[in-house]
Structure 1
Amino acid sequence: MVAVDLFCGVGGLTYGLGHEGVRVVAGYDLEKDCSYAFEKNNPGAAFHTKDVTELTARELEAHYPPDSIRVLVGCAPCQPYSTAAAKTKIGKEQAELEQEWQPLRAFLELILEVQPDVVSMENVVRLATKGKFPVYAEFKARLEQAGYEVCEYKVFGPDYGIPQARRRLVLFASKSGRVELPRKLFSKKEYPTAGAVLEGLPTLENGQTDPRDPLHKAFRLGEKNLARAKASRPGGTWADWHDDLRLACHKKPSGATYGSVYGRLDPAFPSPTMTTQFYNIGTGRFVHPTQDRGLSLREGALLQTFPQTYEFTKPGDEITFTNQGRQIGNAVPPVLGQVIGRAIMAHLGLAELDAPLTSLSATTVEHVQPSAADD
């Protein structure tokens, strides 16, 4: 069995797949800055800097030895299908929308030409909204016409040990029947929490970097934002602040819809979804649970279930909030990669579907036995 990862980024999906026995030999992404992290943390997998819309079937087929079981996985860029993107689509010409959907169409055409045995795609749940995205309906229909059995799952991260309230769509297509997803690992009472994941990391002041871990660095907040962070309560809203700290939008009737912006994480619950700007408290509920600052890059990576040993840059290279924040926020959480990998392995008869997942490292959640709870 051989797998290729399209839109691979820094390798979160590949890393999780590998821990469940799915051998990824190549990853494709147009962001060349992801190459070091992908190859350093996934030995044996080669990074190719290439836009997937320009990848040919011949190039892709070259990675699969004769008579191998072919697996193709990927996460086409989700921004065109996100809730935030929906607010900016008004007034866009159809040609612009088609351009945004091209990566998903390219993924489909490669599947149809190469005919892998098993396919998996991870994306935002909104993509599966009935009648909302004809491009996704076409994606599934054409796979079915080509002889694939297609199934999809809406996965809630905490059910599988991902300590953030991240909901994702996972699609499988196989030439040999339905691919089943492992059952949930955690009941609601057992969900991993943000506080548990971040506990034990060195304390940081506003804008400080841990001298022993350059990825453990906090974005420097201005005086006003620092005051907002200090005034924020775990799980609270801007309503907890004094009037002089509130933004103009908060004073409008619609201000109630911005309750999580500048909010503080509640350590007793999973964190919100990590975005590409999780280090900036003005983009969501990203104030540290107990310290008056935003989340560090390391903390965002841990909440994404990357082990603390995962390297994102070469030693000595500059670490920036923009670059590493984007890489971490865009990544498939490695634990979700494990869940996908286990489903594929069990489908091929190479693993027990509901056996415990392989622990990624000591820094990830250790409780990985399937839960007996119905919820």
Structure 2
Amino acid sequence: MSVDHARSQLVSPGADRMSVRSKLTGNRFVRISQGSAEQRGKVISLFTGAGGMEIGLESAGFETAICVEIDPDSRETLRKNREHWVLFEDEQNRTPGDLRAIRPEELLLKANLKRGEAALVTGGAPCQPFSNMGKKLGKSDPKNGDLFLDFVKIVLGTQPAGFIFENVAGIAQGRHNEVVEYMTAQFAGSGYSVAFEVLNAADYGVPQQRKRFIMLGRKGDAPAFPLPTHTKDGLFPDVFSPEPIATLSQWKTVAEAFEEIPRGNLQRADCVGMRHASYMVERMAMIPQGRNFKVLPMQMRPKCWQSGKHEGHDTFGRMEGGKPAPTIRTAGYNPTKGKYIHPFENRGINTAEMAALQSFPADWEFRTVSGKPSIVSIGRQIGNAVPPAFAYALGSAIFA
């Protein structure tokens, strides 16, 4: 089935839908070990963003052969940090990084790979259409809702040994079932064993509660998911194994992540935060850890918070230093967008702190095309990224 035909078919209602959630069982989980990683092959990276997936896979022994990214600021970040990574940019009359306009054979040529030589194709199509935040348009989103089809196109056209597809957990919910069904059927028909789960990045050493849908595929035997390396209470979760309970690391906390930020990073140009009016600081001072705007006296709340119709349960909330952060979204620097007040100071977290909570290495710098730091752009790059520590776990397990 061609991508164009698939796009036309996926908007038709009434198809039989199996329950995605009922399939989120029976997958294979393996323990992963820390240490030097064996060389595992080359990666074709789609929707690369600021490089979170690729940093993690690099640590797991993979080599990034080519990156496809449509956001020019993110491409500047990739150039700054990894000069040797090949970016798909050419002189043709098309938008650089627009996956809809790129053919699999073009990617292979620019990556100096033959069909079947890549170890992995990786990527997460823009997640906003499937997020529990916003309009939840899914595949019907006129801008990005069908980009998962292009991920399928590249996998089938390049025939890697395996693939990793990442998206928000909402893509596994009932209204979006047909997306997962379509992808599974297409990959299975091309000889891939496919498995998918909703995993929490906090279970893999990321100081953040970030639940993501992960689809793994590989030629031949079923792919493996990584067993958690961290848990809330440090005990091995019975749901993954009948083995006796063992001791693991406890979830990494906000305070631990912030303590690891080198002091110099807070002086870097790409460390930016919001400037708060005095009345905002006064409001923050009244909010304890773990609480939100609802503790404020009514007269101190904006009208939209007084009406009781406000949807954000974490809005203007303070992080808890002894727990992982909530999901770091693209506006994670803005306390009015979630539980993003610093745990110990009366301010929103800055982009260096956002990056630490996403497990980016301290030496990874964020850039923009203009050369001027933009909190909106840097926040978007960080919030949209796959946490590198999470990617490391996925890459270490998939071929186990």
1:301 aligns with 2:301: no
What amino acid does structure 2 have at the position aligned with 1:37? T
- After TM superposition, the score normalised by the length of structure 2 is 0.78
Kindly tell me: are residues 31 and 200 of structure 1, through their superposed partners in 2, closer, same or farther at Cα, counting changes over 3 Å? closer
Counterpart among 163, 172, 180 of residue 128 in structure 1: 172
Displacement after TM superposition at 1:315 (Å):
12
- Corresponding position: 1:15 with 2:63: no
Report the Cα offset of residue 168 of structure 1.
Answer: 0.6
Task: From the superposition, tell whether residues 123 and 239 of structure 1 become closer, same or farther in structure 2 (CA, over 3 Å).
Answer: same
CA offset at residue 247 of structure 1?
Answer: 2.6
Q: Deviations over 1:38-72 (max 9, x none)?
A: 13333532122311111111112222534734421
Within the candidate set 73, 78, 83, 2:132 is matched to 83
CA distance in 2 between counterparts of 1:106 and 1:201 reads 37
Matched, 1:280 2:334: yes
Letter of the structure 1 residue corresponding to residue 103 of structure 2: T
SS of corresponding position for 1:217? coil
- Which of residues 291, 312, 318 is equivalent to 1:264? 318
SS in 1 for 2:305: helix
Change (3 A) 1:113 1:310: same
Q: In structure 1, what is the equivalent of residue 274 of structure 2? A: 219
Say if 2:131 and 2:168, in contact at 8 Å, map to a contact too: yes
- Cα offset, 1:225, TM superposition: 1.9
Q: Would the alpha carbon gap of residues 304 and 253 (structure 1) be closer, same or farther in structure 2, given more than 3 Å must change?
A: same
Q: Is the 8 A contact 1:158 1:164 kept in 2?
A: yes
User: In the superposition, relative to structure 1, how do residues 70 and 239 fare at CA in structure 2: closer, same or farther (>3 Å)?
Assistant: closer
AA aligned opposite 1:39: R
Q: CA deviation at 1:184?
A: 0.6
| 1:286 Cα deviation from its structure 2 partner | 0.4
Contact 1:11/1:42 (CA < 8 Å) preserved in 2?
A: no
Per-residue CA deviation, residues 142-188 of structure 1 (Å, 9 max, x unaligned), is 11122211101211111100101100111111112111112110121
In structure 2, what residue type is equivalent to 1:46? V
- State whether structure 2 residue 245 is matched by structure 1 residue 197: no
CA distance in 1: counterparts of 2:300 and 2:170, whole angstroms: 34
Which amino acid in structure 1 is aligned with residue 71 of structure 2? E
Aligned to 2:159: 115
Unaligned residue ranges in structure 2 (runs of 5+): 1-40, 89-95, 234-249
Equivalent of 2:285 in 230, 239, 253? 230
- Give the secondary-structure state (helix, strand or coil) at the position aligned to 1:121: strand
Show the counterpart of 1:362. Answer: none
2:390 to 333, 336, 356: 336
Q: What is the rounded CA distance, in whole Å, between the counterparts of 1:20 and 1:202 in structure 2?
A: 24
1:33 aligns with 2:88: no
| CA apart distance, 1:201 | 5.4
Aligned to 2:24: none
Percent of aligned pairs sharing the same letter: 26
Relative distance call for 1:131 and 1:313 in structure 2 (3 A) is: closer
Q: Classify the secondary structure of the residue corresponding to 1:23.
A: strand
Letter in 1 for 2:255: G
> Any conservation in 2 of the 1:215–1:296 contact (CA below 8 Å)?
no
Matching residue of 1:53 = 100
2:113 counterpart of 1:65: yes
**Taking structure 1 as reference, are residues 340 and 202 closer, same or farther at Cα in structure 2, changes over 3 Å only?**
closer
Aligned to 1:373: none
Q: Distance in 2 between matches of 1:233 and 1:201?
A: 24
Alignment-derived partner of residue 150 in structure 1: 194
Distance in 1, matches of 2:87 and 2:118, equals 21
Q: Distance in 1 between matches of 2:59 and 2:304?
A: 46
Please state how far the C-alpha of 1:135 moved relative to its aligned partner: 2.6
Alignment correspondent of 2:224: 180
Aligned length: 334
TM-score with structure 1 setting the length: 0.83
Counterpart of 1:197, as a letter, is: A
Query: Could you tell me how far apart the structure 2 residues matched to 1:31 and 1:72 are?
Result: 19
